[in-house]
Amino acid sequence: MAYEVVMPQMGADMKEGTLIRWLKNEGDEVTRGEAIAEIETDKANIEIEAFEGGVFRKTLAQPGDVVAVGQTIAVIGAADEDISMYEAGKAPEPAMAGAARPAAAAAPAKEATPAVEAAPRGDGHVRASPVARRIAEEKGIDLSRVSGTGPEGRITREDVESFLQTRAAAPEKPEKPPESPREAAPVAMSRMRQAIARRMAQSKREAPHYYVTVVVEMTEAQRLRSQLNDTLGETAHVSVNDLLVKASAKALQRYPIFNTWFIDGEVRRQEAQNVCIAIALDEGLIAPAVLDCGHKSIVEIAQASRSLAERAKSGSLKPEEYSGGTFTVSNLGMYGIEELIAIIQPPQTAILGVGRVSPRPVARDGVVEVAEVMTLALSGDHRVTDGAQGAQFLAEIKRLLEAPVDLLV
C-alpha cells in the first residue's frame, strides 16, 4: 500500500509550510525514520522523516512551494505499485486526521497518513473507540476515511474531532498558490493585537495611575509551596503565581474597593474575586480570569490556572473568563525581571505587577542577611482609590505572603 507524505502541522497555528528541498530523489530507497525533505515553517526549519520504508516514488511539490498543512507532498510505496492516481499531478484531497492537531515532532505517525482514497474494508470493520463511533454516527462521518492514532491505529475521539475541524477549515484546495510569507510587508495586526492596543491606550488616557511598590520576603511562601508540591506530586503544581493570586484574592476580600469596575463614571463593586493572570500566546498576551478565587483553595487555584492556560491555548475559554476579571496579577518574574509597573486593564481599577523572586541582601536587626525577596508594584486607578489605600492593600498582600499559613485557611 502506498503511503502519502503530508505537510505536517508543527504547532497549532501553522496553516502552511514551505518546501525547502528534497533530501531524496524519485526512485530512491528510503527506510523508516529517514529524513526525506526539509521544510520551513514560521518558527523553524524541520526535516520530515519517512513514516514507512519503501521506494520514494513521486514528489508532488517543488522546492519553494508553499503547501497547506495536510496536503500530500510525496508518495512512498513498493517499486511496482500502481500509483497512477497521483500521476495526473493531482494529489488527493488533503489528508485528514492529524493535520489539524498540534503535531509533536516525535510523532511521525502524523506526518504520513495512509492513502485517503483507499476503499473502506470490505467487512466494514474499522477500529474506533465507542465515543469516536458515537460522534461519527451523529455527525455523519464515514470512519473509514479517518485515520487513527490510538493503539494499533484505533480511531480516537481526538481523531474524529480533528477530522471535523480539517473538513471545516480546508474544504477546497486553493487554486492559486498563496503568496510567499517571506515577502516584506507591513506587520499585520491580529485582532488580538488591535484589541490590546485599543484597551491599553484607553487605560492610560482615562485612568490616572498611581504606583506603590513593596519588597516581600518570600522564604516562608517558598517553604509552603515546596511542602504543598511535595504532597501533590505531579497532579497539581503550585507556582509562586498561584500564591500571589490567592494572596490577592484574600486582600481583595479585606479591601473590596480594589475589587471594582469603573464604568460610565461609576464605581461598581464586584462580588467574586476573579483574578486575571497573563498568558502568553503566539498572537499576543491575554489575561483571562481564574473565577471566584476567594472561594478556591491554593490547590484549586493552581489547577484552575493550569486549565486556564491550556484552554487559552486551545481557544476554549468561557465568556466570563474573558471578560469577568476584577483584578489582575501580571508576573514577569520568569524572565528575570526585578520590577514590573503594569497598566490597569479597564474596567478594572488596579493591577499587581510582579518581579522575580531572588536572593538579595536585607537588613534585619541591624545586620545584613541574604533572603529570598520579590518586588511587587501596585498600579491603582486614582479615580477610585488613593495611594494610602493602595499602600494598605499592598501591605496586606505582603503580610499574607510573609505569613502564608493564612493562605491555607
- What backbone phi and psi angles, to 5 degrees, belong to 76? -115, 135
Cα angle, residue 57 at apex, residues 53 and 60 outer, rounded to 5°: 115
Of 43, 90, 223, 295, the residue at the interface with other proteins (CB under 8 A) is: 223
Window 181-200: residues binding other proteins (CB under 8 A): none
Of 2, 66, 299, 351, the residue at the interface with other proteins (CB under 8 A) is: 299
Q: Is 224 in the site for other proteins (CB under 8 A)?
A: yes
Give the span between the Cα atoms of 133 and 129, in whole angstroms: 6
Task: List residues bridging with 331 in a β-sheet.
Answer: 354
Q: Is 253 in the site for other proteins (CB under 8 A)?
A: no
C-alpha dist (Å) from residue 106 to 8, 97, 102, 109: 12, 16, 11, 9
Between 12 and 267, name the residue whose CB sits nearer to other proteins: 12
Q: Which part of the chain contacts other proteins (CB under 8 A), choosing from 2-10, 111-119, 123-131, 348-356?
A: 123-131
Min separation Cβ 185 and other proteins, Å: 36
Between 213 and 297, name the residue whose CB sits nearer to other proteins: 297
Q: Which of 82, 142, 295, 382 is an active site residue?
A: 382
Radius of gyration of the chain (CA): 27
Of 44, 263, 334, 408, the residue at the interface with other proteins (CB under 8 A) is: 408
Give the span between the Cα atoms of 95 and 113, in whole angstroms: 7
382 is catalytic: yes
Give which of 85, 84, 22, 75 is closest to 52, Cα–Cα: 75
Window 92-121: residues binding other proteins (CB under 8 A): 104, 106-107, 109
Between 7 and 290, name the residue whose CB sits nearer to other proteins: 290
Set of cell numbers at residue 89: 499531478
Question: How many residues in the shown chain lie near other proteins by CB under 8 A?
Answer: 42
* Identity of the amino acid at 313: K
Min separation Cβ 103 and other proteins, Å: 12
- What backbone phi and psi angles, to 5 degrees, belong to 98? 85, -30
Min separation Cβ 292 and other proteins, Å: 12
As to burial, measured by CB atoms within 10 angstroms (0-12 exposed, 13-18 middle, 19+ buried), residue 143 is buried
Q: Is 146 in the site for other proteins (CB under 8 A)?
A: no
Set of cell numbers at residue 198: 485599543
3-state secondary structure of 18: strand
Residue ranges in contact with other proteins by CB under 8 A:
32-33, 104, 106-107, 109, 129-132, 134-135, 150-152, 156-157, 223-224, 226-228, 230-236, 297, 299-300, 303-304, 307, 311, 316, 318, 405-406, 408-409
